[in-house]
Amino acid sequence: MSTVAFLAAFFRAAPPVTHPILLCLWGTAALGGVAMAAGVAGGTTALTPVLVLQIFAASSGFGLALRRGHYDLVLSRGVGLPGVMMAHWLASAAPGAGAWLAVGAIERMVSTSPPVAFASGSLVSFLLASTLPWALTTPLPRFGAAIGWLMLLVTSLAMAPAAQLRLVEALRAPHPSALGALAVVVYPMGLLGVDAMRLPAGTMTPGLACALGSMLGAMAWHRRADIPLETAT
Amino acid sequence: MIDVVLSVRHVSAQRRRRLVAQAVSFDLRAGQVLGVVGANGSGKTTFLRTLVGFLSPAAGEVRIDGRLPPGALRVAPTAYFAGESTLPGFVRASAWGSLGTGEVVMSDRRRIRALSRSTRQLLGLRTALGRHPLRLVVLDDPWEGLDPDATRWLSATLEAKRDRGAAVVVSSQRLHDLAGICDKYLFLTGAVPTLVRAHEIARSGLVSAEQLVEAFDRARDHATSSLAITDGRPVTARGFDEDS
């Protein structure tokens, strides 16, 4: 069995995304599709819960499973840690990508306007929701980054109810600002349906750099780190 | 030509800055079995993970078929298993079992966490050992929790792998598990382990459980007295160069 085939078989047998999250993803996509077909919701409404669930799905906690020895079987085949991490990330992001594509396909069928799911801003928001939480949760328990993000969002909204509006305004403003750049990272829903090419580079670049940097950082962290067993002495 | 599978040179293994084995050197040839013996917490798991490259040695070098791990594992088929606690409990037993060779080694569709400890251990061992041919087998306390039938299966499988040319490293804290099956023993009795060949313990090379207990006690006593002299710190790192 080739390495890629083995990795695919491994993550099919031991998926990093839990079954409840998978059910929620597919249920949300199905509900969104029905709502769009019935004309009671648009693409943005259908995709927002999928994006939130993707943040939870991607927060799959690679490091903890690694330290528990779950990937010993893969590592003993000589697959390098970066390879296992990439496969884990793909397996974490794939169910959300499937749900996203399904919503996009339904949107294309029922709507005459271009699908929100495939707008460049939407794709950037999906990329951010798939990379940052995965990278940040690498050394944390499952859902670590998603819970942190949710707490940050809820707390800031409770303290400043107008924060959501200000974030979206800053994000879509014609001039780059620190708040706009922050909004890309902490409120990716604001990018849904937006043409990212028309947003200032100063708004988009820090968020994308953050996503790329976090992925590289997670890889570098584990490349230099050893893999002790949690229970071992 | 000597077919050395595992070459360990002046290796020191550590976990979280705690040295568990210092300056260990030996060669393990195809068809040879090394038993790693130590009490709970003596560092058996850390040492074995260092051998397969999951942990970097604090000093020294491990080579598998002349190459450095973990890259060496790509060309030298290796089985490694560190016990049933390393299996992901949410995975179905039948799915996990098929990862070894693609063939179903256990038809049970329950999740791994729902299986008995013995069955989980057996599942992990059968999956890891399912590949063939194997060049190196590294098993961490494999008898732990096994029922008598599974114990017999494991012993027979290890013999078969060894006879087909695999080098085997197996650890246990229960000495009777290892008696009679190993060509050499590594006693993790302190920071400086002791390597003993089977024929040094028993003239025939077939070590009984009682002889192994005696040898282990001697090594432990020696380690304790060394530590007493040096106020808890070994003065020098003893290497055990095989064939030197």
Mean pLDDT of B193-203: 91
| CB hemisphere CA count around A81 (13 angstroms) | 23
H helix runs in chain A, sequence order: 3-13, 19-37, 43-58, 62-67, 72-75, 81-110, 120-137, 144-159, 163-172, 178-186, 201-224
What 3-state class would DSSP assign to B143? coil
Chain B nearest CA to A31, separation (Å): 28
The predicted-structure confidence for B33-74, as pLDDT tens digits, reads as follows 999 998 888 899 999 999 999 998 999 999 999 999 988 999
- Residue position matching structure tokens 């879509």: A172
Domain residue ranges of chain A, discontinuous segments joined by +: 3-224
Of the two residues A189 and B190, the one the predictor is more confident about is A189
Structure tokens at B79: 């089985």
Q: How many CB atoms lie within 10 A of CB A79?
A: 21
Per-residue pLDDT at A40: 93
Question: Residue B82 above 50 pLDDT?
Answer: yes
Mean pLDDT of A183-204: 92
pLDDT-derived band of residue B138, with 50, 70 and 90 as boundaries?
very high
The widest CA-to-CA distance across chain A, in whole angstroms, is: 62
Helix (H) or strand (E) segment spanning residue B28: strand B18-29
Chain A nearest CA to B202, separation (Å): 31
CA gap A25, A102 in Å, rounded: 11
Cβ-based contacts of A14 with chain B (< 8 Å): 88, 90-91, 95-96
CA distances from A192 to A115, A118, B83, B131 (A): 11, 9, 47, 48
* Nearest Cα residue to A32 out of A130, A127, A105, A129: A105
- Is B73's CB within 8 Å of A78's CB? yes
CA gap A9, A73 in Å, rounded: 12
Per-residue pLDDT at A125: 96
Nearest CB partner across the interface for B85, out of A227, A228, A231 = A231
Mutate to test the interface with A, among B48, B65, B86 (most CBs of A within 10 A): B86
B62 reaches A (C-beta below 8 A)? no
The angle subtended at Cα B177 by Cα A78 and Cα B173, nearest 5°, is 75
Question: Residue A62 above 90 pLDDT?
Answer: yes
**Chain A residue with minimum CA distance to B95:** A13
Mean pLDDT of B120-139: 94
Cβ-based contacts of A1 with chain B (< 8 Å): 102
The predicted-structure confidence for B143-191, as pLDDT tens digits, reads as follows 999 999 999 999 999 999 999 999 999 999 888 889 989 999 999 987 7
Structure tokens at A7: 């990795």
Helix (H) or strand (E) segment spanning residue B159: helix B148-163
> Which value does ipTM take for this structure?
0.88
Q: Which of A24-28, A174-178, B173-177, B230-234 has the lowest mean pLDDT?
A: B230-234
Nearest CB partner across the interface for A233, out of B43, B91, B95 = B43
Do B121 and B153 touch, CB atoms closer than 8 A? Answer: no
- Is B49's CB within 8 Å of A229's CB? yes
Per-residue pLDDT at B229: 37
Terminal CA-to-CA distance of chain A, rounded, Å? Answer: 34
- Is A72's CB within 8 Å of B82's CB? yes
pLDDT-derived band of residue A225, with 50, 70 and 90 as boundaries?
low
Helix (H) or strand (E) segment spanning residue B69: none
Mutate to test the interface with A, among B54, B94, B108 (most CBs of A within 10 A): B54
Which pTM value belongs to this model?
0.89
Per-residue pLDDT at B213: 92
Structure tokens at A96: 């959300």
Report strand pairing: B33-38 vs B167-172: parallel
Per-residue pLDDT at A34: 95
Structure tokens at B190: 């302190």
Per-residue pLDDT at B198: 93
Fold of B4-77+133-174: Rossmann fold (3.40.50)
Mean pLDDT of B119-143: 94
Question: Residue B96 above 50 pLDDT?
Answer: yes
Of the two residues B184 and A225, the one the predictor is more confident about is B184
The predicted-structure confidence for B209-244, as pLDDT tens digits, reads as follows 999 999 999 988 887 655 433 333 433 334 444 443
Do A174 and A200 touch, CB atoms closer than 8 A? Answer: yes
Chain A nearest CA to B24, separation (Å): 18
What 3-state class would DSSP assign to B102? coil
Cβ-based contacts of B40 with chain A (< 8 Å): 233
- Is A75's CB within 8 Å of B102's CB? no
Return the exposure string of B45-65: e unless at least 16 CB atoms fall within 10 Å of the residue's CB, then b.
bbbbbbbbbbbbbbebebbbb
Question: Residue A163 above 90 pLDDT?
Answer: no
Question: Residue B2 above 80 pLDDT?
Answer: no
* Count of CB pairs separated by less than 8 Å, A with B: 93
Domain residue ranges of chain B, discontinuous segments joined by +: 4-77+133-174
Chain B nearest CA to A104, separation (Å): 31
Per-residue pLDDT at B236: 37
Mutate to test the interface with A, among B47, B49, B105 (most CBs of A within 10 A): B49
Mean pLDDT of B127-136: 92
Q: Which of A88-97, B49-58, B141-150, B192-201 has the highest mean pLDDT?
A: A88-97
Q: Give me the amino acid identity at A118.
A: F
Mean pLDDT of A115-134: 96
Got the DSSP string for A66-108?
HHTTTTHHHHTTT--HHHHHHHHHHHHHHHHHHHHHHHHHHHH
Strands annotated E in B107-205: 136-140, 167-172, 184-188, 194-197
- Residue A203 region by backbone torsions, left for phi larger than 0, else alpha for psi between -120 and 50, else beta: alpha
